């Protein structure tokens, strides 16, 4: 059944959207702030042109989906961006004081610098290149472009619609989930400790950061997401 698509902020706040195999999206309440970033009419550098093109391509693809598929694709985008920005390297940043903020609030950074909410509740990716240059150096900008390029390819393949668990896949025990997530099995996890453990592991084992063994780390990342989902359901965490 087609339903009215949830807005970006609604998806972050409701904490119930699943991304079909890519795990639960990290969500928290975000302050609604005015979004002043707009795609500029005049482009100055090759990197700016690349970023402009890839964001337009993502927007066109997202807006071409039916409501159900759009929700899955948008949730996937939120999750991947959260993991990507949470793993930001010090070598990518000009302002050291921005690093902790970006790492701890990757989804909020996405919302503040790249998201414009339309009246039809659909997300449009935008940017302000000058503001990005104040925070990121050249390598950081290139990494952002590469992230959005990889995201676009994945969205085009619609892999986010795949079922999270295949029929022949063995169910993990809680103990195994704790080991995968690096949780202390003598403690009862809460939402904060679970999210913190997941982000730490995700930043280290994300396939995009292990390109030489991408298939291996895709499987590891899949298990990591599944482990988080099982622990959340087992302990009824939000």
For the stretch 77-94, what's the b/e string if a residue is b when 16 or more beta carbons lie within 10 angstroms of its beta carbon? bbbbbbbbbbbbeeebbe
Residue 171, Ramachandran bin (φ over 0: left; ψ between -120 and 50: alpha; else beta): beta
Q: With the C-alpha atoms ordered 71, 76, 79, 80, is the resulting torsion angle positive or negative?
A: negative
Within 8 A by CB and 6+ apart from 172, the residues are 180, 223, 226, 227, 230
CA geometry: angle 225, 232, 26, nearest 5 deg: 60
Q: Under DSSP, is residue 190 helix (H, G, I), strand (E, B) or coil?
A: coil
Q: What is the pLDDT of residues 87-110, one digit of tens each?
A: 888 889 987 788 888 887 777 888
Q: What is the pLDDT of residues 30-41, one digit of tens each?
A: 333 333 434 444
- Return the DSSP state at 208: G
Supply φ then ψ for residue 236, to 5 degrees. 55, 50
Please, what are the averages of pLDDT over each run of 10 residues along the chain (238 residues)?
A: 52 44 37 39 75 90 88 84 84 85 80 75 83 91 90 79 47 85 85 88 85 87 87 79
Identify the residue whose tokens are 């706040």: 13
Q: What is the pLDDT of residues 44-72, one digit of tens each?
A: 788 898 898 899 999 999 889 888 888 88
Could you give the C-alpha distances from 97 to 47, 80, 90, 200, in angstroms and in order? 24, 23, 10, 20
> 208 and 22 in contact (C-beta within 8 Å)?
no
Domains of the chain by start residue, with CATH: 8-22+40-161 (no CATH), 174-234 (1.10.287)
Residue 152 C-beta-side C-alpha neighbours within 13 Å: 19
């Amino acid at each position: 059944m087609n339903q009215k698509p949830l807005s970006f902020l609604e998806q972050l706040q409701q904490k119930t959207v699943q991304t079909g195999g890519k795990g639960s999206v990290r969500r928290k309440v975000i302050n609604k702030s005015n979004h002043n970033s707009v795609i500029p009419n005049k482009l100055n550098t090759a990197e700016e042109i690349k970023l402009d093109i890839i964001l337009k391509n993502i927007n066109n693809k997202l807006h071409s989906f039916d409501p159900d598929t759009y929700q899955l694709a948008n949730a996937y985008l939120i999750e991947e961006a959260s993991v990507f920005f949470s793993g930001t390297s010090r070598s990518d940043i000009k302002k050291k004081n921005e690093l902790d903020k970006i790492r701890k609030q990757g989804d909020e950074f996405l919302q503040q610098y790249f998201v414009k909410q339309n009246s039809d509740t659909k997300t449009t990716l935008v940017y302000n290149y000058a503001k990005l240059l104040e925070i990121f150096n050249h390598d950081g900008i290139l990494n952002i472009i590469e992230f959005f390029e990889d995201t676009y390819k994945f969205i085009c393949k619609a892999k986010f619609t795949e079922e999270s668990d295949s029929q022949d896949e063995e169910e993990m025990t809680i103990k195994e989930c704790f080991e995968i997530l690096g949780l202390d099995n003598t403690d009862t996890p809460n939402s904060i400790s679970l999210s913190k453990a997941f982000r730490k592991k995700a930043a280290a084992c994300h396939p995009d950061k292990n390109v030489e063994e991408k298939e291996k780390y895709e499987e590891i990342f899949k298990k990591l997401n599944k482990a988080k989902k099982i622990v959340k359901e087992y302990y009824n965490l939000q």
